[in-house]
Amino acid sequence: MMIAFILLGALAICGGVVTIAARNAVHAALGLVGTLLCVGGLFASMSASFLAATQVIVYAGAIMVLFLFVIMLLNANSPITSKDPIPYVRELAGIGGTVLAGAFVVLAFTYKDPQPLAAGVKGVGDGTALVMGETLLTRFLLPFEAVSILLLVAIVGAVALVQRPAAQPDGVSDTDEVLLPSAPATVLRLPEREVRA
Amino acid sequence: MVPTASYIALSGILFALGMIGVLTRRTAIMIFLSVELMLNAANIALVAFARAWGDPTGQTAVFIVMTLAAAEVAIGLAIIVAIFRKRETTNVDDLAGMKG
């Protein structure tokens, strides 16, 4: 168990370092995918089986695909080479992050488990969908419904935000070239119906 | 079994990494990725404490955080795409003005 934790933890930290240090945005996103998968494994090791599955499906699956899609759509995978306007920001952030991480680690090891861990694992009942659903639909009913409304609003908002302005009378939308500056036309030519949708 | 303290320490390290990313990266998408890293660090801590106390409430909170993250990503990326169409950049240094 300890070996699994050390392996998954080390991989998660490596993925995190790739995420914040990679010059190419696609590499950074793939580093984050690695971290998310490792976090899913850590959830499984903490007897949160439903969350582990959700982590892989929703986070590493859906959310990261959305990220990669937008990175490739915007051609944003080239790094910014100009000088940072804030002086010494990298050094200061590095020092601050190290201090924060050190403080967290020191604080964490002052934490004493309130009860034997075996009792805790029994209490969360292996974190199955049954246990989660019971909590979600009793004590967490209001947040659950609020979150479902939030998701609906987010869907409508996302569609409204990325909607193209209405096409001009000659049928050419003036944003087409701006959106895809250097992508080959053959790859991105959609059927007419889908473009207007 | 791995003690809760180890998980909390790992969560703190990942959170600090995410914070460094938010402070140093300069494209909006990279800052967004770092924020996701911080959210996941917090999720590890929540699940670890849920196990320590034997209470599934913490795990349920993580489930809700995941849903919120999905909504946040959908809206945030839509905003980034909209900004990119208008300005042809996602460098946050160039997006400092509130006008237009």
This complex has an ipTM of 0.92
**Half-sphere exposure of residue B26: CA atoms within 13 angstroms, side-chain side:** 18
- Residue A100 maps to a domain: no
Model pTM score? 0.84
In angstroms, rounded to a whole number, what is the distance separating the alpha carbons of residues B91 and B80? Answer: 10
Whether the CB of A100 is below 8 Å from some CB of chain B: the reply is yes
In a domain? residue A41: yes
Structural domain contains residue A133: no
Q: Is residue A38 part of a domain?
A: yes
Q: What per-residue confidence (pLDDT) applies to A81?
A: 73
Q: Structural domain tally of chain A?
A: 1
Interchain proximity A111–B88, CB inside 8 Å? no
Residue A197 lies in a domain: no
**Which residues between 55 and 74 in chain B have a beta carbon less than 8 angstroms from any beta carbon of chain A?**
55-57, 59-60, 62-64, 66-74
For A70-95, what is each residue's pLDDT tens digit?
998 887 666 677 777 888 888 999 99
For B93, list phi and psi in degrees, rounded to 5. -65, -30
Indicate which CATH number applies to the domain containing A50.
1.20.120.1200
Q: Is A55 among the domain residues?
A: yes
- pLDDT for res B5: 93
Tell the residue number behind the tokens 């989660």, with chain if given.
A132
- CA–CA separation, B79 vs B100, rounded Å? 13
Q: Do B8 and A139 touch (CB under 8 A)?
A: no
The answer to whether residue A99 sits within a structural domain is: no
Domain holding A157, by residue range, is: 1-80+144-163
Q: Are A144 and A137 in contact (CB under 8 A)?
A: yes
Whether chain A has a CB inside 8 Å of the CB on B94: the answer is no
The answer to whether residue A88 sits within a structural domain is no
For chain A, percent of residues with pLDDT exceeding 70: 82
Check CB contact under 8 Å for A5 and B6: yes
